[in-house]
Amino acid sequence: MVRGGSRRYTYFRFKPDLTLEVVIPKGRKVDVDAALRDKLPWIAKEYDRMTSARMVLHGDQVMFGGSYLRIVHTPDTKEELVPDLKANEVHIRTSDRRRIKELVRRWFLKETSAYVVRKVADFTPLVGAKPSRVDVREISKWGYCTRGGRLSFSWQLIALPDRLREYVVLHELAHLVEFNHSPAFRRKLSAVCPDFRRRERELDSILPYDRMAVL
């Protein structure tokens, strides 16, 4: 249990190791047992989702384009990452195994950035709205939109199957027209992505590396 910055709300979130963390409002007394009882249905549902979900980085495998690639590590003083998509492998040279995740992050950041620039340009005329800025960052969500029209995407976006990557881009572009999740937003999203609900469910079954579920 930790104290959070909010003075109003109690949050529940799962850490990557499936430990449940309770974040209580700063400066307030909270009946944690009662709060846990109230959120028990969500806790059970979220635990089931996380334990059955596919993870972007899982053991010696990393997801890329919706498929897992086996990580082949070769100890070497020279650092290098070479994907072999035909063999479903990614070859990584580094003297320290702890560097593997960082090298994968750099690779994903480069690939996601190229993908996002291309897809935002492709979909902007379709949606009828242009972002003020687009970037790829370390964020807990797959993507988000600000009121100022800035779109940010997770560096892990390239891990997803193409249909889910496209959904994330279209979802955020639609927020430029409707900055909410109202029926009007859903109508706009449906106009450019008719099966968006199915894609949402598919996306919910994949967890980014080091993500914490938050409610």
pLDDT at 211: 44
Q: Is there a single domain that holds both residue 83 and residue 173? A: yes
User: What is the rounded distance in angstroms from the CA atom of residue 51 to the CA atom of residue 60?
Assistant: 18
Q: Strand 143-145 and strand 133-137: pairing?
A: unpaired
- For residue 95, the domain's CATH number is 3.30.2010.10
Q: How many domains does the chain have?
A: 2
Residue 62's closest CA among 166, 202, 159?
159
The residue ranges of the chain whose pLDDT is under 70 are 1-8, 16-17, 27, 52, 210-215
Q: Is there a single domain that holds both residue 191 and residue 121? A: yes
Q: Is there a single domain that holds both residue 105 and residue 177? A: yes
Tokens for 87?
């063999």
In this structure, the chain runs to a length of 215
In the block, tokens 């995407």 appear at 153
CA distances (Å), origin 170, targets 6, 76, 108, 213: 31, 41, 20, 23
Q: Is there a single domain that holds both residue 89 and residue 154? A: yes
Q: Which domain holds residue 27?
A: 2-52
β-sheet with 143-145: strand ranges across = 133-137, 150-154, 143-145
Query: What is the DSSP annotation of 45-64?
Result: HHHHHHHHSEESEETTEEEE
Specify the pTM.
Answer: 0.80
pLDDT at 83: 97
Q: Cα 20 to the chain's mean position, in Å?
A: 19
Contact 212, 16 (CB under 8 A): yes
pLDDT in tens, 160-213: 999 999 999 999 999 999 999 999 999 999 999 999 999 999 999 998 886 433
pLDDT at 16: 62
User: What is the rounded distance in angstroms from the CA atom of residue 201 to the CA atom of residue 198?
Assistant: 5
Q: Is there a single domain that holds both residue 142 and residue 121? A: yes
Residue 138's closest CA among 45, 211, 197, 43?
211
Q: Which residues pair with 10 in a beta bridge?
A: none
Contact 112, 162 (CB under 8 A): no
Tokens for 49?
């989702």
Tokens for 148?
């100022």
CA distances (Å), origin 168, targets 2, 3, 62, 196, 203: 32, 32, 20, 10, 9
pLDDT at 10: 79
Kindly give, in sequence order, each residue whose CB lies less than 8 Å from that of residue 171, ignoring residues fewer than 6 positions away.
143, 189, 193, 196
Q: Is there a single domain that holds both residue 141 and residue 98? A: yes
Q: Is there a single domain that holds both residue 122 and residue 186? A: yes
Q: Is there a single domain that holds both residue 155 and residue 125? A: yes
